[in-house]
């Protein structure tokens, strides 16, 4: 074992851009005071930990265990119609609308800081003995998605706010990271295949013919749509035009089994800095390094590990942690065992690959188990990493870039220099030479390879805006995106141009202080239009275009007012552009219906609502689900349409328009026949007897559905199924029945 005197102290280069001095932030934390210091490391010595009630761990017993950590800053973590399935929509007549906070949190959490993981061979071998074949990265990945307790973040004006849903994304730098190259199968194709696999799965409640009782209570948002949105936002590959997937920090890990620990740490650092684990040239190689020593509780001496840990702090600074784990494998039969949570943010390719098989067949459902002491120690380690190192580092970088780069661009002199450089080539050579060399108007854009170097102002400002967005300072993020939009347009960096318009619109919609006025909605619509045009026409990037439209729809819908109409239009645009497959069309039809369903009548008058238009889209969604062979989902969409059409139905529950009634009756019968055939029953015999679907309905569900008298059943008596073709005719533009749809 190497002692401090045997090897000269080695300090990794500071994680700052070249030519930028290291300064300390002067903002005070809410719970303590910090002295100014010229070093970021010393600035973190007395870093903050928010004191707040922790979130419940995997089991109740885990909360009572002490935290085993030798780190100096460790903290304790202390109706008569039978329903085949439930609609994804809330009933506006009953006040059950979609929960905007849930979808809003999902979008916010999708843009979390990325932390690279690079472990030594001995560490991965220790973790594999515990049943994790992917090594240390697979062990800690699920626990980083939600940090226990509140994470306090300060914004650009110095005010602090605690977040309980904060998390980070761990990516493997040791050989399992998905690269930036395009996959063989397009992302949207994989997304459609993953949704189809989920619907066909017998273990998934959405894939079966019936659903559990707890899912029959009108959930506000469909689990299938949440899965669609989560997979759409879970693209792990890094791209040059945005830095959300660029590593903010990397964790370098060794174990107590290592025979030359300090030399191994130096080699691992060299690999991530300028070795074979170096990031692409458009990713800045200088980011925060965090060093971890994994102590084997079952075989090694804690005294020796503590000495080694002290040496690590003297050689590499205070960004270190001693993690104490057991090397024995935990099984279900152990008293203190708890199941590792499943990763929430899995890409479509990961979901299609399937869940890994357990090493021991003990009905573990493919998920491994850990000792509760290990779970508690891992949570403490991740919280310390994020709260004391990652967040302060990002805050420090935003402060430096804002003072030294952004402030100069916002001033009069910065605008004058930008115009001079753009039109006269002042300070960057002649305009002719720039065009001939392949550069943009600023001379910093490499049009041949399609990226900015990471140390130029355009790339630094984009990284600053992305850091502010991940720190949830959306006001600063929106102003920074606005600052560089014209630069990307002048340089003809179209993917950068599309991305900055997309995130500028999302930042404005997430800002709670931004009022949803009509003029502001129009400005957001213009930015979304520009982003989609650049993504599709200039970059042929359908995946990012769909991501832009999906986030815009949900955030505009949560704003209410005139934003609801705009959200429905953008959802229609996504379907018209062919960005989604057959399952996506059905989901977006339901979301369009959900948008219109949230538009209620003006108080005191009888007009202003869009419930009948919402009912029309719900009927169209039912037809799409039926074509996909999903009668249970089609049944719930029809039931939703009946509630939305309550104002126009006759007293017997029928439609006043003959063509509309014929279309609905045919669709009802087709849904029932499809369901009976899926169950392998005789359709004629069952249709003539008692409805077999009646067993799926409980008294509680019947009371919730039966809100008016003489309500007509969606699964009606059998009739000529050949009349279903009239439903298709109802969608034709030249069919008179379509006018009945619009009037409804």
472-512 pLDDT per residue, tens: 999 999 999 999 999 999 999 999 999 999 999 999 999 88
Dist CA 293 CA 119 (whole Å): 10
CA distances from 574 to 108, 227, 468, 532, 579 (A): 21, 18, 29, 10, 6
Q: What is the pLDDT of residue 715?
A: 36
CA distances from 672 to 324, 634, 642, 666 (A): 58, 10, 16, 10
Q: What average pLDDT does this structure show over 536-540? A: 95
Number of Cβ within a 10 Å radius of residue 121: 14
219-268 pLDDT per residue, tens: 357 899 999 999 999 977 899 999 999 999 999 999 999 999 999 999 99
Q: What is the pLDDT of residue 473?
A: 95
Residue 612 has pLDDT above 70, yes or no: yes
Listing DSSP states for 436-500 in one string gives HTTB-SSS-EETTTTEE-TTSHHHHHHHHHHHHHHTT-HHHHHHHHHHHHHHHHHTT-HHHHHHH
The rounded Cα 46 to chain-centroid distance in angstroms is 32
Q: What is the pLDDT of residue 606?
A: 57
Dist CA 92 CA 603 (whole Å): 15
Q: What is the pLDDT of residue 608?
A: 64
Q: Name the nearest CA neighbour of 476 among 157, 224, 77, 722.
A: 157
Q: What is the pLDDT of residue 475?
A: 94
Residue 610 has pLDDT above 70, yes or no: yes
Give the pairing of strands 445-446 and 369-371: unpaired
Q: Name the nearest CA neighbour of 596 among 622, 619, 625.
A: 619
Highest mean pLDDT among 4-18, 353-367, 650-664 belongs to 650-664
Q: Are 153 and 465 in contact (CB under 8 A)?
A: no
Q: How confident is the model at residue 333 (pLDDT cuts 50, 70, 90)?
A: confident
Domain ranges, ordered by start, for the chain: 103-177+185-199+219-354+366-395, 473-599, 609-682
93-138 pLDDT per residue, tens: 232 334 556 899 999 999 999 999 999 999 999 999 998 988 999 9
Dist CA 412 CA 241 (whole Å): 27
The pTM (predicted TM-score) of the whole model is 0.77
Share of the chain above pLDDT 70, in %: 66
- The b/e string for 174-190 (b: 16+ C-beta within 10 A; e otherwise) is beebbeeeeeeeebbeb
Q: Name the nearest CA neighbour of 596 among 438, 442, 742.
A: 742
Share of the chain above pLDDT 90, in %: 49
CA distances from 116 to 140, 251, 261, 266, 455 (A): 11, 6, 20, 16, 21
Fold of 103-177+185-199+219-354+366-395: Rossmann fold (3.40.50)
Q: Name the nearest CA neighbour of 207 among 602, 583, 682.
A: 583
Q: Which two tokens stand for residue 645?
A: 């059409």
Q: Which two tokens stand for residue 741?
A: 């749809």
Give the pairing of strands 151-154 and 114-119: unpaired
Give the pairing of strands 151-154 and 160-163: antiparallel
Q: Which residue has the higher pLDDT, 505 or 659?
A: 505
Q: How confident is the model at residue 14 (pLDDT cuts 50, 70, 90)?
A: very low
DSSP state at residue 330:
B
Q: What is the pLDDT of residue 59?
A: 40
Residue 69 has pLDDT above 50, yes or no: no
Dist CA 292 CA 115 (whole Å): 14
């Amino acid at each position: 074992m190497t002692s401090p005197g045997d090897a000269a102290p080695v300090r990794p280069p500071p994680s700052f851009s070249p030519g930028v001095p290291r300064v300390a932030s002067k903002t005070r934390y809410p719970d303590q005071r910090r002295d100014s210091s010229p070093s970021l490391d010393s600035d973190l010595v007395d870093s903050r930990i928010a004191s707040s009630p922790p979130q419940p761990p995997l089991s109740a017993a885990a909360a009572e265990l002490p935290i085993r950590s030798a780190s100096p800053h460790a903290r304790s973590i202390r109706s008569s119609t039978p329903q085949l399935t439930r609609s994804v929509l809330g009933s506006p007549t009953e006040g059950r609308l979609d929960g905007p906070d849930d979808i809003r949190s999902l979008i916010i959490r999708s843009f979390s800081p990325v932390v690279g993981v690079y472990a030594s061979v001995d560490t991965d071998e220790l973790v594999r003995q515990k049943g994790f074949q992917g090594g240390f990265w697979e062990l800690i990945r699920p626990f980083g998605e939600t940090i226990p307790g509140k994470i306090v973040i300060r914004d650009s004006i110095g005010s602090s706010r605690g977040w309980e849903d904060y998390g980070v994304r761990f990516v493997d730098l040791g050989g399992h990271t998905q690269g930036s190259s395009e996959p063989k199968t397009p992302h949207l194709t994989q997304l459609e295949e993953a949704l189809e696999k989920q619907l066909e799965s017998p273990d998934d409640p959405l894939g079966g013919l019936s659903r559990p009782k707890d899912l029959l209570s009108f959930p506000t948002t469909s689990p299938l749509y949440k899965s669609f949105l989560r997979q759409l936002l879970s693209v792990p590959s890094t791209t040059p035009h945005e830095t959300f997937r660029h590593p903010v920090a990397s964790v370098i890990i060794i174990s107590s089994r290592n025979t030359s620990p300090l030399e191994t740490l130096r080699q691992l650092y060299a690999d991530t800095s300028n070795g074979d684990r170096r990031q692409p040239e458009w990713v800045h190689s200088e980011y925060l390094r965090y060093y971890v020593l994994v102590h084997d509780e079952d075989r090694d001496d804690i005294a020796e590990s503590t000495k080694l840990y002290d040496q690590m702090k003297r050689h590499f600074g205070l960004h270190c942690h001693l993690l104490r784990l057991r090397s024995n494998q935990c099984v279900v039969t152990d008293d203190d065992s708890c199941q590792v949570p499943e990763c929430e943010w899995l890409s479509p390719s990961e979901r299609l690959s399937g869940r890994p098989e357990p090493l021991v067949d003990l009905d573990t459902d493919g998920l491994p188990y850990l000792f509760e002491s290990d779970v508690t120690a891992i949570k403490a380690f991740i919280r310390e990493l994020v709260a004391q190192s990652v967040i302060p580092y990002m805050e420090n970088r935003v402060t430096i870039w804002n003072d030294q780069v952004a402030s100069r661009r916002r001033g009069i002199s910065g605008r004058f220099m930008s115009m001079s450089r753009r039109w006269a080539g002042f300070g960057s050579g002649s305009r002719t030479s720039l065009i001939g060399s392949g550069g943009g108007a600023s001379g910093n854009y490499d049009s041949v390879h399609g990226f900015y170097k990471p140390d130029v102002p355009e790339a630094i400002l984009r990284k600053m805006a992305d850091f502010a967005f991940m720190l949830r300072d959306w006001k600063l993020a929106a102003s920074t995106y606005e600052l560089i939009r014209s630069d990307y347009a002048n340089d003809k960096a179209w993917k950068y141009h599309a991305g900055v318009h997309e995130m500028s619109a999302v930042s404005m919609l997430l800002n709670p202080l931004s009022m949803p006025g009509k003029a502001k909605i129009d400005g957001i619509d213009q930015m979304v239009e520009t982003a989609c045009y650049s993504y599709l026409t200039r970059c042929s990037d359908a995946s990012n275009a769909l991501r832009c439209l999906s986030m815009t729809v949900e955030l505009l819908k949560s704003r209410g007012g005139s934003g609801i109409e705009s959200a429905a239009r953008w959802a229609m645009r996504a379907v018209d552009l062919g960005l989604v497959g057959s399952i996506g069309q059905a989901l977006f039809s339901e979301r369009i219906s959900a948008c219109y369903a949230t538009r209620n009548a003006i108080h005191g008058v009888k007009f202003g609502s869009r419930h009948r238009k919402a009912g029309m889209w719900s009927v169209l969604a039912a037809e799409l689900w039926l074509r996909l062979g999903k009668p249970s989902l089609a049944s719930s969409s029809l039931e939703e349409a009946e509630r939305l059409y309550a104002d126009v139905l006759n007293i017997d529950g029928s439609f006043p328009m003959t063509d509309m009634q014929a279309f609905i009756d045919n669709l009802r019968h087709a849904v029932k026949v499809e369901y009976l055939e899926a169950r392998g029953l005789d359709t004629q015999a069952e249709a003539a007897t008692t409805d077999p679907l009646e067993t799926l309905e409980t008294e509680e569900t019947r009371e919730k559905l039966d809100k008016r008298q003489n309500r007509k059943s969606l699964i009606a008596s059998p009739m000529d199924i050949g009349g279903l073709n009239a439903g298709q005719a109802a969608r034709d533009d030249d069919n008179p029945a379509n006018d009945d749809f619009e009037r409804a």
